[in-house]
Amino acid sequence: MEENNYDVSSTEESTKKGKLKRQRNLVQYKDLSDEQFDKLMEKKTMGGEVSKSFEDRILKKLEEYAEDYDLSDLKINDRDTLRALIQAQLALEDHEQYMYLVRSQGISDSSSFANEKLGKFMSDLRSDISKFQQDLNITRKVRKSDQDVSVLAYIEGLKDKAKKFYQSKMGYIFCEKCNMLLSTVWSLYAEEDRNKLSFVCHRKLEDGSECGHKTVVSTKQLIDNRGTNKLEIFPESMK
């Protein structure tokens, strides 16, 4: 069997040369010298590499945002805003590095002027970044506010659960005569029908007399009657 000596790199080089040759024959390049044409193609290639590098930085930043925020439900305008935010942040990073280089070369009239211009531009970038963050609701203040709301909601939820648990475990005893709430009780052996509780009602009636009725209830009766001795007056929300 004949050995396959197919050279991928050679084929790619041939393709590249063919593409350059076709471009060389275009009208806009015909009047250029070979040296001018080669420099122009080199510049275009470098521009493409820079563009790809910048896109890679944007994608990396997007991945960082995706770790902290859910980006799956972003609308197209939100995605554009997020991209603009990332571009502004990258521009700020680049200008901060450039300002450092300018300062490291010493203080002069020209460097002071350059620093002033850079400082103004960077200040504008920070304002843009802050605005983009507000538009996307990802500022530190908003995140802290959301967190505070979540904590408050969690605490209120615990209180509500505790209240419901308390209500479900307590027995509510009302006066059999005047319906006055006499006691809320919890007992360890509530199923024991020999455990009985008795209360004398001292409620003052409208005529000035005292109710004086004695109510006797077993703890098992409270369980069987859904936590009370008088279900007909027991609040609906607690049943």
Candidate ranges 2-6, 91-95, 138-142; pick with highest mean pLDDT:
91-95
The pTM (predicted TM-score) of the whole model is 0.39
Of the two residues 117 and 13, the one the predictor is more confident about is: 117
pLDDT of residue 9: 43
Q: Does the pLDDT value for residue 174 go beyond 70?
A: yes
Q: Are 210 and 204 in contact (CB under 8 A)?
A: yes
User: What pLDDT, on a 0 to 100 scale, did the predictor assign at position 200?
Assistant: 95
pLDDT at 210: 93
Greatest mean pLDDT range, 105-114, 146-155, 226-235: 226-235
β-sheet bridge partners, residue 198: 216
pLDDT digits (tens, 9 = 90+) for 84-123: 888 888 888 888 887 777 777 666 666 677 777 778 888 8
Residue 96: count of CB within 10 angstroms of its CB: 12
Tens-place pLDDT, residues 22-48? 666 665 656 677 777 677 666 665 554
Instruction: Give the start-to-end residue ranges of the domains of the chain.
Output: 9-139, 140-167, 170-238
| 211, 201 contact by CB (below 8 A) | yes
Residue 3, pLDDT above cutoff 80: no
Mean pLDDT value of segment 202-226: 90
pLDDT of residue 189 exceeding 90, the answer is no
How far apart are the C-alpha atoms of 33 and 128, rounded to whole Å?
45
198-212 confidence digits (pLDDT tens): 999 999 988 889 999
Q: DSSP for 10-63, please give it.
A: HHHHHHHHHHHHHHHTSGGGTTS-HHHHHHHHHHHHHHHHHHHHHHHHHHHHHH
> Across the chain, what does the average pLDDT equal?
76
Q: Is residue 154 helix, strand or coil?
A: helix
Q: What pLDDT score does 11 carry?
A: 43
Choose between 49 and 175: higher pLDDT. Answer: 175
Confidence class for position 196, pLDDT limits 50, 70, 90: very high
